[in-house]
Each structure stands twice: as C-alpha cells, then as structure tokens.
Amino acid sequence: MKYYYEGYEILAPLTIASNEPMFDADTISLKKQRSTQGAQRWELSFGIVTTSPADALISIASFDTVKTMPMPQLTDVDDRLGSVNYPKGAFVTGSNNKVYMVKTDAASVVDSNLYPIPPSGLTYSTVANATIRYYREVSDLRGITFNDGILASPGTISIIEAL
C-alpha cells in the first residue's frame, strides 16, 4: 500500500521510531535500575520526490500547524490484514487521537495488547483508518534540492506526533 505526505508519495526508507524517555542508573552493587515517566510519542522520517517544488517549499511555512495523515503500516501488516483484524505491529488511533501499536495478533483491540498502555475507556480505529496527528520537525526545515532540473527533493522529512 502506498502512503502519502501532503499529497506526495512517501519513499523508502521510512523510519518509525518510538520516543519514550528512559532513565538508566547503576547502583553501588552494579545492578541496573530503569524507569520511565510514561510519556511516549511516535516520530517518522521519510523522503518524497516532487515535480511541484513550489508546493513542497510552501509546506515549510506551516511548520507550527497540527496536521493529520494516515499512519503508515508495515508491509507485513498490510499483507496480513485479510487473515487477522489487528496484526502484530499494526498501528491504531485511540479516541484521544494518540497512536498505539498492537503487540500481538488479535481479533479486537484490548488495552493490555497496546503499546504504550492507553488510559481505559478509549475506542480505537481500524488498522486501515489509523491516522497520526503531527507537527513537522523544525530541525530539518531546509529547502529543496533539484536533480536533473525536473525532480525536486526537500530531503528527509521528519514529523513528530502531536500530543
């Protein structure tokens, strides 16, 4: 399945990363202690190619606006959707607009089968209707590179989940 960012096809490589700050400490007996505050967001990085460089360049101007797009799914998730409703590794969107990942194959969504663990009482999208609300990452707002005078690339685009 193809996925799109602001009308432009997303190209490989696509990186989907979980940003969950963790704290790691060694005790005096050299045991590890790890803790987290429970905060987590998804971050995506990918490339696009456009033949409309003006439109791609203008998208830099709206970096402070929360936008929505379909949440890209892994290829094996797309391939398995006919045999299971919620394949392991699929993304769903909660009624709180947060994206969650399914941990094991399931016929229906159960809170304990999602990462991160959601608050109780939410309803969830289907895998096919999962969306991500996002901001454009401001550290990579550069411009456009022209190749062969026709194709234009804005480089790697990074987006972060709007919480």
Summarize pLDDT for 109-124 with one digit per residue, the tens: 999 999 999 999 999 9
Q: Which residues of the chain have pLDDT under 70?
A: 51, 53, 56-62, 140-153
Cα 34 from Cα 22, distance rounded (Å)? 7
Cα 119 from Cα 126, distance rounded (Å)? 18
Q: Do 159 and 116 belong together in one domain?
A: no
How many domains is the chain built from? 2
pTM listed for this prediction: 0.83
Domain housing 13 = 1-21+40-67+134-163
Classify residue 50: in a domain, yes or no. yes
**pLDDT value of residue 71:** 96
Q: Do 7 and 61 belong together in one domain?
A: yes
Q: Do 54 and 84 belong together in one domain?
A: no
**pLDDT value of residue 102:** 97
